[in-house]
Amino acid sequence: MKKLSHFDAAGSPRMVDVSAKPTTRRTARAHAFVRMRPEVVRGLPQNPKGNPLEIARIAGISAAKKTAELIPLCHPLMLSHADVEVQVEEGGVRIIASAATSAQTGVEMEALTAAAVAALTVYDMTKALDKSIEIQDIYLLQKSGGKSGGYLRDTK
């Protein structure tokens, strides 16, 4: 079994020392889905709180930039790019978040945080209309760069 790098020899959590790693371009994309009743999906453009999709997009981008403040052992990164795409579909809202940097560690957590916070924002802006909203399927779609190389989720 592979040893986890976030633990020291005594088993205590620690921040990984990446100082010896080369700086490379790193990218990641993550996914989330917000499932809601069809009438709530149809009513998204008339939401009295504002446009939930645009607000979720901005919230996700902001969250990507604050990942190290939210996840204790994440490295603070200077992102060169962060974006969140939101797409209304039958049954809910699909969210695809992306992040990029040139650094010594990857941006998977930034993309995942962006997707999760964007989904939470959609929930927050629509919860008065539907208490049964579900946030589903938060996962990494793709990553590039770094020692472990690329990853592409099998979507089958």
Domains in the chain: boundaries: 24-146
In this prediction, residue 117 carries a pLDDT of: 98
Q: Count of CB atoms within 10 A of residue 136's CB?
A: 13
Q: Look at residues 112, 101, 113, 111 and name the one whose alpha carbon lies nearest to residue 77.
A: 101
SS3 content of the chain, % helix, strand, coil (to 5): 30, 30, 40
pLDDT band at 41 (very low <50, low <70, confident <90, very high): very high
Domain 24-146 is in which class? alpha beta
- Predicted confidence (pLDDT) per residue in 7-36, tens digit: 666 667 777 778 888 899 999 999 999 999
Sheet containing strand 151-152, strands side by side: 81-89, 92-103, 24-35, 134-144, 151-152
Q: Count of CB atoms within 10 A of residue 6's CB?
A: 11
Share of the chain above pLDDT 90, in %: 70
Q: Look at residues 146, 114, 155 and name the one whose alpha carbon lies nearest to residue 29.
A: 114
Question: Looking at the annotation, which residues are catalytic?
Answer: 124
